[in-house]
């Protein structure tokens, strides 16, 4: 049997019925919902799945017409639901009461131009800014742009840990015969507290002289990490160095040390997490990128 997606459903429906306005689809979904309610009240349990499918088919079409896939949206929403705290209403449904809170007391002190705020209250995971689907589309677009500029053999260098997922997705979207390496960079002092000059904590395992290098970062804030790496590889004789970042934290632009060559998304968020990016080492595993809400800043 064909595994239907929002796209295949929308294509079929448009061929069968012609283009539709979203309002008409919502009204039709409400009618199908009424039929589902009727099946339940009449005890017609055999038709329940089929009536529910009629509702879902309309929802798939609405999602596709607005650039989404409903199954992906359900996956993303469920990932979020599983992180929330819920208060049961007593009838088998419930309301979410608060986002998971993370204590801020252990926050490292932040210094200099780094935009990380020092919190006095509690931080929580906020809205999804860029979901997994959007990220994967954008990664492919970035790869296409990079391929147009950089031909042939390149050395892809991912910056750990934050850019781990972005580097592996971008590398797989690029068709260049690439070599892959990673570096570790830390901006924290030896005591793990103050944010200072970025230093290399682990190096690439290949020579870089004469190579075309694509440096891959999850985000650019002050630009300190990337500019440190560009300087390092330039001193070692790299032939060409390009920088690709998934997120540009636009608030930090005025004091930035470097402008990346390729940018996935711009965001005005102060702090973000997910898709490799952490909040105090947490949330790197989340498939979507969320805003982290820092309620009070000192």
Ligand X SMILES: O=P(O)(O)OC[C@H]1O[C@H](OP(=O)(O)OP(=O)(O)O)[C@H](O)[C@@H]1O
Using CB under 6 A, list all residues that contact ligand X: 114, 159-162, 187, 198, 217-225, 278
Helices (H), the chain: 6-17, 22-41, 48-65, 70-83, 132-149, 164-173, 224-235
Smallest distance from ligand HPA to CB 273, Å: 6
Which among 152, 127, 175 has a CA at the least distance from the CA of 289? 127
CA-CA-CA-CA dihedral for 105, 109, 115, 118, to nearest 10: 30
Distance of alpha carbon 264 from alpha carbon 219, whole angstroms: 9
In the set 72, 221, 278, 288, the catalytic residue is 221
Smallest distance from ligand HPA to CB 202, Å: 18
- Could you tell which of ligand X, ligand HPA, none binds residue 140, using a CB distance below 5 to 8 A set by kind? none
What's the angle, vertex CA 190, arms to CA 184 and CA 194, rounded to 5? Answer: 95
Smallest distance from ligand X to CB 296, Å: 21
What tokens appear for 175 in the block? 């068709």
- Could you tell which of ligand X, ligand HPA, none binds residue 271, using a CB distance below 5 to 8 A set by kind? ligand HPA
Which among 278, 272, 277, 264 has a CA at the least distance from the CA of 293? 272
Smallest distance from ligand HPA to CB 271, Å: 4
Nearer to ligand HPA, 6 or 273 (CB): 273
Smallest distance from ligand X to CB 222, Å: 3
C-beta of residue 165 within 8 angstroms of C-beta of residue 275:
yes
Nearer to ligand X, 6 or 222 (CB): 222
* Residue with smallest beta-carbon separation from ligand X: 162
Nearer to ligand HPA, 116 or 174 (CB): 116
- Could you tell which of ligand X, ligand HPA, none binds residue 224, using a CB distance below 5 to 8 A set by kind? ligand X
Please report how many Cα atoms fall inside a 13 Å half-sphere around the Cα of residue 7, on the Cβ side: 4
Smallest distance from ligand HPA to CB 208, Å: 25
- Could you tell which of ligand HPA, ligand X, none binds residue 272, using a CB distance below 5 to 8 A set by kind? ligand HPA
Catalytic residue list contains 218: no
Nearer to ligand X, 78 or 200 (CB): 200
Nearer to ligand X, 178 or 220 (CB): 220
Q: Is 122 helix (H, G, I), strand (E, B) or coil?
A: coil
- Could you tell which of ligand X, ligand HPA, none binds residue 168, using a CB distance below 5 to 8 A set by kind? none
User: Rule CB under 6 A: which residues touch ligand HPA?
Assistant: 115-116, 219, 221, 249, 271-273, 277-278
Annotate 55-89 with b (16+ C-beta within 10 A) or e (fewer): bbbbbbbbbbbeebbbbbbebbeebbeeeeeeeee
Q: Which 8-state DSSP code applies to residue 220?
A: E
Nearer to ligand X, 6 or 225 (CB): 225
**Element (H or E) spanning 88, and its range?**
strand 85-88
- Could you tell which of ligand HPA, ligand X, none binds residue 223, using a CB distance below 5 to 8 A set by kind? ligand X
Query: What burial class does residue 190 get, using C-beta atoms within 10 Å of its C-beta: 0-12 exposed, 13-18 middle, 19+ buried?
Result: exposed
**Which residues are annotated as catalytic?**
221
């Amino acid at each position: 049997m064909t595994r239907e997606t929002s796209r295949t459903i929308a294509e079929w429906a448009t061929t069968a019925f012609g283009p539709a306005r979203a309002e008409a689809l919502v009204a039709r979904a409400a009618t199908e919902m009424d039929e589902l309610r009727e099946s339940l009240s009449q005890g017609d349990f055999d038709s329940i799945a089929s009536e529910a499918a009629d509702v879902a088919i309309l929802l798939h079409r609405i999602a596709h017409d607005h650039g989404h896939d409903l199954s992906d949206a359900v996956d993303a929403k469920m990932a979020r639901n599983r992180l929330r705290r819920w208060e049961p209403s007593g009838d088998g449904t419930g309301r979410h009461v608060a986002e998971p809170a993370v204590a801020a007391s252990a926050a490292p002190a932040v210094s200099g131009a780094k935009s990380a705020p020092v919190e006095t209250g509690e931080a929580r995971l906020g809205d999804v800014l860029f979901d997994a689907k959007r990220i994967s589309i954008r990664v492919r677009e970035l790869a296409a742009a990079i391929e147009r500029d950089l031909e042939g053999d390149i050395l892809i260098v991912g910056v750990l840990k934050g850019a781990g997922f972005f580097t592996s997705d971008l590398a797989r979207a690029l068709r260049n015969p690439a070599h892959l390496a990673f570096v570790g960079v830390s901006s924290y002092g030896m005591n793990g507290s103050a944010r200072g000059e970025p230093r290399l904590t682990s190096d690439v395992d290949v020579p870089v002289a004469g190579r075309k290098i694509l440096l891959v970062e999850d985000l650019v804030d002050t630009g300190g990490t990337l500019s440190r790496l560009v300087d390092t590889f330039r001193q070692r004789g790299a032939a060409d160095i390009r920088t690709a970042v998934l997120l540009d934290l636009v608030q930090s632009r005025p004091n930035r040390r470097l402008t990346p060559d390729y940018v996935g998304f711009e965001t005005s968020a102060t702090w973000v997490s997910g898709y490799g990016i952490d909040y105090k080492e947490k949330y790197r595993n989340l498939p979507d990128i969320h805003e982290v809400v820092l309620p009070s800043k000192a």
